[in-house]
Structures are given as structure tokens and as C-alpha cells.
Homo-oligomer: A and B are copies of this chain.
Amino acid sequence: MTGRLSVVGLGPGNSHQLTPEADAIVSAAGALFGYGPYLDRVPERAGQRRHPSDNRQELYRAEQALNAAAEGETVAIVSGGDPGVFGMAAAVCEALDRGPTSWRNVEVAFVPGVSAMLAVAARVGAPLGHDFCAISLSDNLKPWEVVEQRLEAAAAAGFVIALYNPVSRARPWQLERAFSRLRTILPDTTPVVFGRAVGRQDERIAITQLSAAQGNSADMATCIIVGSAETRMIERPGSCPLVYTPRGTARPTA
């Protein structure tokens, strides 16, 4: 007998942005797995087993959860934001792909959520209003030169760029390096949005220009949006400016 594994997106971090679907599945699970701070967002329920694990233990966590589901449990793994965007969904698939064939009989479901870049964008207007990309700056699992190639290709082709995993204790210099590369391609005035812990009590939003963007202005809880050459700001009296990328473009990019 096998159970069921759901890979659930908790959204940005407040209950108003948690979908009823995700809430129901997390509530009904017999066992919960996840990175500790994400699990802490889920209210305690009697009879529900909780298995917190550390950051960077994604594959181990996925294997533990698949094991429990294969033994008949109703299991949920929680991710912040959307589990399919630099969250636990890919780690679960990797574990399934490498693991015992019996795991392929486990019923697996993926439950989407509002990802960080969407929540950050909504705070300032519509910076992702036209073609855009999402890049993880982590070089734990890919060479840094691939990160730089993708940054340059995206900026040159006119994509707005959302940066995930911009910095960590073990990766202090990557974000500044990314800004440096982007400055060789994009105008100095390109809007840059830093969105930290959006939707949570310690939320912090900052809007600046690429020439002034600093690599030490972010932490692990920050998602950064770098505009394209077409991204604009609208000043408003008494309110924060709006940042948006128009829906169309008149001219081919270089």
C-alpha cells in the first residue's frame, strides 16, 4: 500500500496569500516535511508529525518524504512561494528519478503558490509586465560562468530579470558580480527592485537604479527584479513610485 506525497507552495508568507487548496492539503497531511522556517508557518495540529530539515538538504528531505509516502503516509512537503520555482518540486522529481522504482507508484501532486517574484512585482507595479526570466544566482549546483552567460543573454535580448537566491553566507560576492555584468549591457537608469520577506512582518521594499544597486543590499530572503531597457518609473506625489515594463516594444533589441 502506498500513500500520497503533495509538494505544496505556501506563497509569500502570509495566510491571505495562501490558496485554499494548499491550506487544505497541509491541514490534512499526516506528516509534514520542509525547511524549518517554512514549516514554522504552518499551524501545529494534534497528531500531525513534523520533520523540519536544514537549508541545502533538499534531496535528503525529498527522499525522506518519498519514503514515508511509499510506506502509506499522507505526506506534504512545504515550500515558500511556488514549489516549482527554485523550490522543492524539482528536488522531489530528482529523488524519484534516482530512487527505487517502487517510488514511482507513489501518488505525487504538486500544488502551486504565489511565487516571490510575483509578490515583489505586485508591491511596486508591473515590472514583469513583458517578457521576463527567473535566474538563481546560486552556484552550488551550476558553474558561475553559466550564471553570467544567462544574465548576459537575458539582458541583451530585452528580458526583465528576476534574481532568486541572490546571496548567502557562503556566497557573498555573486550579486555584486551580477550587477557589474548587467551594467555593461543595460542603461545606468534601469530600475532595480529589492523585495525582502514580502507579505511578512519584516517586509522591506527598495527601488533604485542599476548604477546604484549594491550587492550587499540583499539577503537570502530577498528577490530582486532588474528591469529591461524599457522598464519605466512613474513618480507619484506622496506615494512610492510605480515600476512597470510596457506591454510592447517598438524596436528590435541589439
Name A residues whose Cβ lies closer than 8 Å to a Cβ of B. Answer: 9, 11-12, 15-21, 24, 58, 82-86, 89-94, 96-97, 104-105, 107-108, 110-115, 118-119, 121-123, 125-136, 140-143, 145-146, 149-150, 153-154, 156-159, 232, 234-239, 242, 244-250, 252-253
Determine whether the beta carbon of B145 is less than 8 Å from that of A252: yes
CB-based contact A133/B118 at 8 Å:
no
By CB atoms of chain B within 10 A, which of A118, A128, A130, A237 has the most? A118
B150 x A90 contact (CB < 8 A): no
The smallest beta-carbon distance between A73 and chain B, in angstroms, is 19
For A82, what are the chain B residues with a Cβ–Cβ distance below 8 Å? 114, 118, 122
B-side contacts of A123, CB under 8 Å: 110
Once the chains are docked, how many angstroms separate the CA of A179 from the CA of B84?
24
Quick one: which of B89, B134, B145 contacts A131, CB cutoff 8 A? B134
Known: A58-B247, A156-B153, A245-B90. A112 touches B111 (CB 8 A): no
Specify which of B94, B133, B135, B245 is in contact with A246 (CB 8 Å cutoff).
Answer: B94
For A86, the chain B residues whose CB sits under 8 A away are: 129-130, 247
Kindly state the separation between the CA atoms of A246 and B12 in the bound complex, as whole angstroms: 23
Q: Given contacts A142-B249, A247-B141, are A110 and B122 in contact (CB under 8 A)?
A: yes
What are some 10 contacts across the A-B interface (CB < 8 A)? A18-B19, A84-B128, A85-B118, A94-B244, A104-B239, A112-B118, A131-B134, A146-B158, A149-B157, A150-B157
CB proximity of A122 to chain B, nearest CB, Å = 4
Q: Which residues of B contact A119 (CB under 8 A)?
A: 112
- The minimal Cβ–Cβ distance linking A148 to chain B, given in whole angstroms, is 10
With both beta carbons as reference points, the residue of chain B lying nearest to A249 in the complex is identified as B142
B126 with A84: CB separation less than 8 A = yes
A181 CB to nearest chain B CB (Å): 13
One of B84, B97, B134, B245 near A122 (C-beta < 8 A): B84
Minimum C-beta distance from A163 to chain B (A): 10
Q: Is the CB of A253 within 8 A of B146?
A: yes
A126 — which chain B residues lie within 8 A by C-beta?
A: 83-84, 89-90, 92-93, 110
A135 near B129: Cβ-Cβ < 8 Å: no
